[in-house]
Structure formats: C-alpha cells, structure tokens
C-alpha cells in the first residue's frame, strides 16, 4: 500500500467559501478562486450590518434573498462559479447550528430600492460555537464564511484571510521573513480541517500551494511551541531544506527545542549539521507525498480543554497534514486534529518510510 492508497481511506465533509459584501469584487474573486479552486468559491454580493434583524427577512419565511437574482452578482466568468443558484445559502431546513437564514436578512435595500442580502455579524458572534475572527462590525467591509451545506462553520474577515494566504506569497516562508511565531490560521482556514481538498501547484496556480505551506508552517509552529514529541516532515527532495533559508531555520529551531525530528525525501542532497533523523528513498511515498505530522509525547489524543485554540489543540492532541501529488503539480489530501487520523498517519510513516 502507498500513501496515496492510504489517503483513499479518509473522507471528509464538503465545504465551500462564501464571500459577502465584496467592495472590490474582481481581484478578491480572482484570488479566492485561485486559492481554493474553481468549484470551492460561492460569491454573494451583500452588505454587512449591525443588528440587521431577526434573519427572517421581509416576508418572514426565512429567505435571505440570495435566490431572487437581485442580491447576487451572477458573475459567469467561465471559472466554474455558480453563485446565482447557490442553494447552500437559502435552504436551512434540517440543519443544526448557525444557518445562513439566521445570519442574513432582506431588510436592507440597495440604491434602487431593491432588497439585497445583508449580514448581521452580531448574530454570528452570539454563536460562540462558530469560530469567527475579525474587527468590529462597523469596520468590516468584506467577510468570508466557510459553509457546510447551509450551515456556517466559521467566519473570517478578508483582512485576516488575506494576511494568511490571499495577499502573501511563498517567499515569506522560504526566506524566513515570516517567523514561526507569526504563523496563525484564520477561522476559515482552520475550519477546513478534515475536509478533503485538491490543489494545484505552480504554474497552474500561483496561490493554491500556499495553503499547504501555511498549514505546514502552522504544524511546525505547534511542534516548536511544544518543545517535545515527534515531528515527521516530507520534502520530496531533501535538498530543499538547505535551498530554502527559511525552511532550514525552522527545522534548526524545532530540533534545538528537543523535538524528535524526522525528515523524509529523495536523497539528492542530504542536509548537513542538522539534529534530525533522515529517512531517504525514491519510491512514490518519498517522491509524491507532502506530510507534516506532529505527535505529542503521550501520543495523539482528543484535546478538549480549549477547542477554540488551534495551537493548544495541536500541542495537546497532535495535528497532521497529508497530501499526495496524484498528477504533476496536482495535490489531493487533508489536514486534521482528529486523534485517530493523526495516529494512523504517524503509524504508517513510522512503519513504512
């Protein structure tokens, strides 16, 4: 069995990113599509308001207006965006937690007197079980929501999302400009855990691979902060460790804390003077995989002490990323805090690589 076949045993929820109140639509849409893929982004034009209402809209039937054709930009640019028929935002029946119909109202009119979807951020904030990061409602111009069906899983301002993945490039990490202590995950990215993904690398996409880099750096931060346990990381080519100054510095800092560090890849050039165990090979598990798995000293286990703190969850319970290059520059995988999944991935790597 290979890591690709091992990955087939995992499945996860299908989630999509919804953008509300796009003040600068084309650039934001382009970046989101390029980051999350053609089929993952659903765009609804609306506005953010404070205390917009009870979410039932003008007709009291719980319709957020997204399907009336007037509150949606209907962009059809050939990139797979089907926002005009996004039923994820209109049918909340039968779901638990916070739904779009609770969050939106048609009680706001545009300049021509037509109702448009409006978002009451205070409703989102009253649901403490839904992670949200961002500023005050009056200062929010753009908001990204992570949806699973019609249910809101998480929310982040585009400023938060932009600082993490939209408005940065991989040079921040490879050169060491963004340090381990600065790496954090906005709620929309954090909420993608256990959701399977397919991402494209350069040159097909300039940004999608950055998600893998960001999540990898976060897991490396978990290990560095913990200062113990085991970290297993693959690089496809081991020469990348010395070629990328930022990567070399990260693993020097991690290994210096006492973390049992294991590095995997094709032995084109072995890293020198690094306190880590090197695992070299040239079969598909070495050439085609991208994984970063942190296992705490006592082994992966459920961490419930503060489920809203991703860093604490990772330190206490473990966290892992597994992606496989199924075609040239096409990666399929997932990342997870789930104790069973972290344990299974760690055990496979330990036994077979």
The overall average pLDDT reported for the chain is: 76
CA–CA separation, 304 vs 231, rounded Å?
22
274-281 average pLDDT score: 96
Judge contact between 321 and 232, C-beta under 8 A: no
Judge contact between 229 and 294, C-beta under 8 A: yes
Whether 87 has a pLDDT exceeding 80, the answer reads: no
Q: Residue 72, class by beta-carbon neighbours within 10 Å (0-12 exposed, 13-18 middle, 19+ buried)?
A: buried
- Which percentage of the chain shows pLDDT scores above 90? 33
Write down the pTM of the prediction.
0.78
Place of tokens 């890591």: 3
332-342 average pLDDT score: 93
pLDDT tens-digit profile of 36-61? 766 565 555 555 554 444 433 333 33
How does strand 115-120 pair with strand 47-49? parallel
pLDDT tens-digit profile of 178-231? 677 778 888 988 988 998 888 877 656 656 678 888 899 999 999 999 999 999
pLDDT of res. 267: 95
pLDDT of res. 83: 35
Return the bridge partners of 19, or none: 43, 144
pLDDT tens-digit profile of 136-169? 655 666 778 888 887 888 888 888 888 877 766 6
Q: What is the dihedral of CA 269, 274, 276, 280, to 10 degrees?
A: 10
pLDDT of res. 222: 96
Judge contact between 104 and 63, C-beta under 8 A: no
């Amino acid at each position: 069995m290979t890591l690709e076949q091992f990955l087939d045993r995992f499945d996860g929820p299908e989630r999509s990113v919804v953008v509300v109140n796009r003040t600068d639509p084309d650039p934001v849409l382009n970046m989101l599509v390029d980051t999350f893929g053609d089929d993952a982004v659903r765009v609804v034009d609306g506005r953010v308001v404070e205390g917009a209402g009870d979410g039932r809209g003008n007709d009291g039937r719980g319709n957020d207006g997204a399907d009336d054709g007037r509150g949606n930009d209907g962009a059809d640019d050939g990139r797979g965006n089907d926002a005009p028929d996004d039923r994820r935002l209109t049918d909340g029946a039968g779901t638990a937690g916070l739904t779009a119909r609770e969050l939106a109202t048609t009680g706001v009119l545009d300049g021509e007197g037509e109702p448009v979807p409006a978002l009451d951020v205070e409703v989102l904030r009253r649901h403490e079980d839904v992670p949200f990061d961002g500023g005050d409602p009056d200062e929010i111009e753009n908001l990204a929501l992570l949806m699973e069906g019609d249910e809101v899983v998480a929310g982040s301002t585009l400023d938060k999302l932009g600082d993490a993945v939209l408005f940065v490039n991989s040079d921040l990490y490879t050169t060491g400009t963004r340090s381990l202590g600065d790496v954090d995950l906005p709620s929309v990215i954090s909420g993608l855990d256990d959701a399977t993904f397919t991402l494209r690398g350069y040159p097909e996409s300039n940004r999608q691979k950055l998600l893998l880099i960001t999540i990898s750096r976060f897991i490396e931060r978990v290990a560095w902060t913990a200062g113990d346990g085991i970290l297993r990381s693959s690089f496809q080519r081991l020469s990348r460790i010395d070629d990328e100054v930022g990567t070399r510095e990260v693993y020097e800092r991690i290994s210096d804390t006492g973390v049992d560090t294991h590095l995997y890849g094709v032995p084109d050039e072995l890293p020198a003077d690094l306190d880590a165990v090197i695992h070299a090979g040239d079969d598909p598990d070495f050439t085609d995989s991208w994984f970063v798995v942190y296992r705490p000293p006592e082994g992966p286990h459920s961490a419930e002490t503060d489920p809203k703190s991703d860093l604490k969850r990772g330190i206490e319970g473990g966290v892992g990323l597994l992606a496989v290059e199924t075609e040239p520059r096409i990666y399929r995988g997932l990342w997870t805090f789930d104790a069973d999944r972290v344990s299974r991935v760690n055990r496979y790597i330990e036994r077979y690589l």
